[in-house]
Amino acid sequence: MDPLLEFSELIIKIGVLFANCDGNYDSHEDDFIKSFSQKLIENQIINNDIEKRLEVVATEEHSVDEIIASTRTFLSQFNEIEEVRIKNTIKEFIEKLIAADSVYAPEEIDLYNRWIKEFHSND
Q: How far apart are CA 112 and CA 109, in angstroms?
A: 5
pLDDT score for 57: 82
Domains of the chain, by residue range, sit at 3-120
The pLDDT assigned to 45 comes to: 72
pTM over 0.75: yes
pLDDT digits (tens, 9 = 90+) for 62-116: 899 999 999 999 999 999 999 999 999 999 999 999 998 888 999 999 999 999 9
Helices 3-20 and 48-59 cross at an angle (nearest 10°) of: 30
- Torsion region of 102: left, alpha or beta (phi above 0 gives left; psi -120 to 50 gives alpha): left
Give pLDDT tens digits for 19-55: 888 888 778 888 888 888 888 778 777 777 777 877 8
Asked if residue 74 lies in contact with residue 6, where contact means CB atoms within 8 angstroms, the answer is: yes
Res 58 pLDDT > 90? no
- Give the mean pLDDT of 53-61: 82
How far apart (Å, rounded) are the C-alpha atoms in residues 107 and 105?
5
DSSP secondary structure letter of residue 79? -
Note the pLDDT of residue 123.
62
> How many angstroms separate the CA atoms of 111 and 17, rounded?
9
